[in-house]
Amino acid sequence: MNSPGEAINAIPVNPEIGSSIEYIRKKYRLYHFKHHFVIYRMTSTTIDIVRVPGESMANKRHL
């Protein structure tokens, strides 16, 4: 994958691709690629992209 957009498009194909970060927020997952993270949450009908921070910004206060 070369861009954040490609990573975001991979999530609906494989929603479990990211690691659970429920210790930070319930139902949230984190998918790391290159120098970014995709933070998303899943419901029974949707996948919501919450944020796409760079590595230097990926911590609890940016969720």
pLDDT number for residue 60: 57
Tokens (6 digits) for 6: 């490609």
Instruction: Provide the number of structural domains found in the chain.
Output: 1
Contacts of 41 (CB under 8 A, 6+ apart): 25, 27, 28, 29, 47, 48, 50
Closest CA to 4 of 38, 49, 42: 38
How far apart are alpha carbons 43 and 40 in whole angstroms? 10
| pLDDT tens per residue, range 4-56 | 788 888 999 999 999 999 998 999 999 988 888 899 999 889 999 998 887 77
Look at residue 1 and tell me whether its pLDDT is greater than 60: no
Domain extent, residue 12, equals: 4-62
> Is residue 57's pLDDT more than 60?
yes
Supply the pTM of this predicted model.
Answer: 0.80
Distance of CA 3 to the CA centre of its chain: 14
Look at residue 34 in the predicted model and tell me its pLDDT: 83
